[in-house]
Amino acid sequence: DAGVIQSPRHEVTEMGQEVTLRCKPISGHDYLFWYRQTMMRGLELLIYFNNNVPIDDSGMPEDRFSAKMPNASFSTLKIQPSEPRDSAVYFCASSLLGTGDTGELFFGEGSRLTVL
Amino acid sequence: AQRVTQPEKLLSVFKGAPVELKCNYSYSGSPELFWYVQYSRQRLQLLLRHISRESIKGFTADLNKGETSFHLKKPFAQEEDSAMYYCALISTGRRALTFGSGTRLQVQP
């Protein structure tokens, strides 16, 4: 397995544009997480899914952010409209029920977003 | 609500020196604590978990419930230990990890 796959790896856009980040979890994993990493705040949980259903979205900053998981092998995180303060590295991670309590999340390589 | 605090953003030591990366947490229940590491150009990955009471790459961490701490220690730092280290907590009934803000460890030759 290639692990968690994220795209794009880098995205540079202008303020006001829509941004869509994509994630393919490890096959068979039933939990999917979206995190945002910044220098000031470290890793923040945005939202997580279990069996494609959103469980906790309390970390989503505001209505400009939305996330979907239409099937077990694909998730998107969308920002519309984007703002400079959204510039960060966005990580997707997945885990398997039964290992969830052991805390082993498998992370993708991240999508570095720069909003000008 | 749970919270993880890593007071140091940067820790710089010389090769062979002891290392201690500090982590404190706040959570009213019985948490599970972890250390994750991100080496340059690599993915964030699990380093160790407190329930396993294991030593990985010479690192150990002991959960101190009285002080609500889970400091990461290594007696002799190596240059290849240079990385970003995150302390994390998982609470009962919740599958998502809460991370601290991270500490960058620089091991100088």
Give me the tens of pLDDT residue by residue for chain B, a chain 109 residues long.
789 999 999 999 999 999 999 999 998 777 889 999 999 989 999 999 887 778 889 999 988 989 999 999 999 999 999 999 999 998 777 778 899 999 999 999 9
Task: Please answer whether residues A77 and A56 qualify as being in contact, where contact means their C-beta atoms are separated by less than 8 angstroms.
Answer: no
CB of B100 within 8 A of CB of B4? yes
Q: Which residues of A touch B49 (CB under 8 A)?
A: 102-104
pLDDT value, residue A100: 46
CA B97, A8, A30, B84 torsion: positive or negative?
Answer: negative
CB A23 within 8 A of CB A69: no
| Cβ-Cβ contacts under 8 Å, A50 against chain B | 95
Q: Percent of chain A at pLDDT above 90?
A: 78
The reply to whether residue B99 touches residue A43, judged by beta carbons under 8 angstroms, is: yes
| Closest chain B CA to residue A57 | B96
Taking contacts as CB-CB distances below 8 angstroms, the residues of chain B near A44 are: 99
Q: Say how far apart CA B84 and CA B96 lie, in whole Å.
A: 20
- Give the per-residue pLDDT at B96: 83
Nearest CA in chain A to B6: A42
In the predicted model, is pLDDT for residue A53 greater than 90? yes
pLDDT tens for A61-109 read 889 999 999 999 999 999 999 999 999 999 999 998 655 456 689 999 9
Contact (Cβ atoms closer than 8 angstroms) between residue B84 and residue B56:
no
Render A27-71 in DSSP notation, one character per residue: TT--EEEEEEEETTTEEEEEEEEETTEEEE-TT--STTEEEEEEE
User: Which range has the top average pLDDT, A1-5, A27-31, A38-42, A76-80?
Assistant: A76-80
Q: For position A115, what pLDDT does the model report?
A: 97
